[in-house]
Amino acid sequence: MNIALYGTGKMGQAITQVARKRGHAIGMEVHATNAGTSPNGMDVAIEFSRPEHAVANIRLCLDAGVAVVVGTTGWYDHLHEVQQLVAEQHGSVLWASNFSIGVNLFFRVNRLLAQMMDPQAQYNVHLDEIHHIHKLDAPSGTAITLARDIDLKTERYSGWKLKGQGQAQAQIDPAPAPVEISSERKGEVPGKHSVSWTSADDRIIITHEAFGRTGFATGAVLAAEWLADPRQKRQGLFTMDDVLG
């Protein structure tokens, strides 16, 4: 494949290395000095820029008829707008809060555990996430996805709140409570996410810890291969669940 890469930071560099190892070429790189460049002639685009640029880059790709894999987070308030653009342009967009294969399997475990724990009212859930100091959004898109999935799989929880923001909901309140997320930024931590279910007697914790960026980059390239597979004509808005089957 000939790939248009939007965003040439550390993740972009990791994607370049993985793509070349898998026999692909980076046909163009778009960064601050050539922002707004269309991916005309490319087989697929991979977008890992900044939240404020993501939707504009997605639009560029859709206008050019180029399928795009979006790894930037922090733009999800515009997801409905992107969905409309995909429908209008008959285009292809694959987005994920995290492209790591391990994290996406972790998402599935989280959904299953949440469904099992919902009837166990003595347990309350809490999310913890740690990332490097360069990450712009907090909580992370991965943490929000974990919270959203707990919301979808339980009746006791609805939405999410960042720890320290807003009034905590009393346990006796019968209304669904938001999933509380603790977010920390330190050093060069690639990413660590934990979901804890705690009672007065014990605690269940599931954790995913990344050791570097290669896992994220590999997942993004695999997603691009899936989306741009010439044997398939994929059109619509997709996620990593579609890739994993």
* Domains of the chain, first to last: 2-99+213-244 (3.40.50.720), 101-209 (3.30.360.10)
DSSP character string of 96-163: -S---HHHHHHHHHHHHHHHHHTT-TT-EEEEEEEE-TT--SSS-HHHHHHHHHHHHH-SSEEEEEET
Query: What is the per-residue pLDDT for 165?
Result: 73
Alpha carbons 128 and 27: distance in angstroms, whole number: 38
Beta bridge partners of 208: 193
Query: What is the per-residue pLDDT for 61?
Result: 98
Tokens read off for 218: 């590999």
* Arithmetic mean of pLDDT, 40-50: 96
Cβ-proximal residues to 198 (8 Å cutoff; 6+ apart), any chain: 123, 124, 125, 126, 204
pLDDT at 217 over 50: yes
pLDDT tens per residue across span 228-244: 999 998 999 999 999 99
Alpha carbons 224 and 45: distance in angstroms, whole number: 8
Nearest to 118 by CA among 145, 168, 158: 158
Active-site residues, by number, are 131, 135
Which alpha helices (H) appear in the chain, and where do they start and end?
A: 10-21, 51-63, 79-89, 101-117, 141-153, 214-227, 240-244
Fill in the DSSP letter of residue 186. Answer: -
Query: What is the per-residue pLDDT for 166?
Result: 58
Query: Band of the pLDDT at 174, cuts 50, 70, 90?
Result: low
pLDDT tens per residue across span 11-23: 999 999 999 999 9
Tokens read off for 159: 């939405």
Tell me how far the alpha carbon of residue 186 is from its chain's centroid: 20
Query: What is the per-residue pLDDT for 128?
Result: 97
Nearest to 24 by CA among 39, 44, 6, 54: 44
Fill in the DSSP letter of residue 211. Answer: S
pLDDT tens per residue across span 147-160: 999 999 999 999 99
Global pTM value: 0.82
Determine what percent of the chain is predicted with pLDDT higher than 90: 84
Asked if omega into 176 is within 30° of 0 (cis), the reply is: no
